[in-house]
Amino acid sequence: MIRGYRSQHSRHRLPCKGGIRYSSEVDLQEVEALSALMTYKCAVVDVPFGGGKGGIMINPKDWTDAELERITRRFTLELCQKNFIGPGVDVPAPDVGTGPREMGWIADTYRNFYPQDVNGAACVTGKALSLGGVRGRTEATGLGVYYGIREFLGYPEVQKQMKHHGKIQDTTVIVQGFGNVGYWASKFFESNGAKIIGIVEHDVAAYNPSGINVEQLSLWRKEHGTFRGFPDAQIISEPMTVLEAECDVLIPAALERQIGLRNAHRIRAKLIGEAANGPVTPGADEVLRTNGKVIIPDLLLNAGGVCVSYFEWAKNLSHLRFGRMNKRWDERSKEQLLALVEGNAGRELSEVERRQLIHGAEEHELVYSGLEDTMIVACNETRQTALEKNIDYRTAAMANSINKIAASLAGSGSIFTHA
């Protein structure tokens, strides 16, 4: 018998939202805890969902693709029968061990179970583009990590605490984990001028104080299955030593509990950005803060995935690709304005300059813009609460989440009880 779980932590806003993971470590307590985290994560970034989480207790590597499809479809049928899935009820997403393929199987099973539901594509997010996915979803969490750290580096009190110039340019970064989140976070930091000096995996780490070319390292690992032998970095067999190396920003983007009491006192990074869920234990958090480190909590920093899942859900409900209705209108409006400017300036722009200026937003650009605005607002709210109450950023983010949930519950009242 295969065990599967789905938890709904809070229904103060619907639908509930949270990933489905395939792992032999899945159990009821883990799913319940992660669904609670999703409630607070959605609230802190103003995504109008309740918290949910699911999982199947299997190692996907032990099963064939055909067997995984049958397991996924049977699990989805159980969710349908128990009313634990639907665009207005509970919307799963990918997590550890799952991806667009599994989300496609879930969507197809739901569609066959509820063929009359015109909004059926919104029953799950993280789908392939051909099945109603949204451009920008793949890199969303890593991009959100970049936006969040960029915002905090710009705050004067953070710059003072870190003794840092506050700009991404020439900031030294170490990333633990080179999966989806770690890879994309590394890419966005590198493309904006940061130096990725270390990338840590479970078996080895790559380290180069002059900077690592992220794409070259990724291609090397795809070809060889490991960092070993990569010519442009020092390959270190004790990866945790790189986690403890000196840098401006450390991004744990792998598993939980990577920084604990055993190694917290050896962490030399000035800022720790929690891209993974729970990479710093409560005891280590206290040690790091006592040692003057800035910690941006997972609750806030890795919310980019659920933000863009929200955009995909909204796209599916509207049955319309973002930008389809206004892209050409925006371009024609810009052309008319540009013609007026050229006439007054007495100079015509080159074709390349013209195309750059009149370019209308594509779907992924609108998604990036929406995610950037979401992270800027959420980071600033967290900062303001931390300053006003003289508390750390983790406590501030949690306080903001609880206050938003409480306001939602108080505003809606209760249909069954009286105050």
Cα–Cα–Cα angle for 5, 6, 11, nearest 5°? 160
Of the candidates 212, 221, 215, which has an alpha carbon nearest to the alpha carbon of residue 194? 212
Number of Cβ within a 10 Å radius of residue 359? 13
The residue type of 341 is V
Label the pairing between strands 50-56 and 90-94.
unpaired
How many CA atoms lie less than 13 Å away from 205 in the CB half-sphere?
21
The residue type of 82 is K
CA 384, 389, 393, 398 torsion: positive or negative? Answer: negative
Distance CA 104, CA 115 (A): 15
Q: Torsions phi, psi of 175, nearest 5?
A: -120, 130
Of the candidates 244, 293, 306, 255, which has an alpha carbon nearest to the alpha carbon of residue 48? 306
Distance CA 325, CA 309 (A): 21
The residue type of 4 is G
**Residue 53 catalytic?**
yes
Distance CA 218, CA 213 (A): 9
The residue type of 81 is Q
Judged by phi (left if over 0) then psi (alpha if -120 to 50, else beta), residue 200 lies in beta
Q: How far is CA 357 from the centre of its chain?
A: 30
DSSP assignment string, 366-396: HHHHHHHHHHHHHHHHHHHHHHHHT--HHHH
Q: Is the peptide bond between 15 and the residue preceding it cis, with omega within 30 degrees of 0? A: yes
Catalytic residue among 17, 53, 195, 293, which? 53
The residues that are catalytic are 53
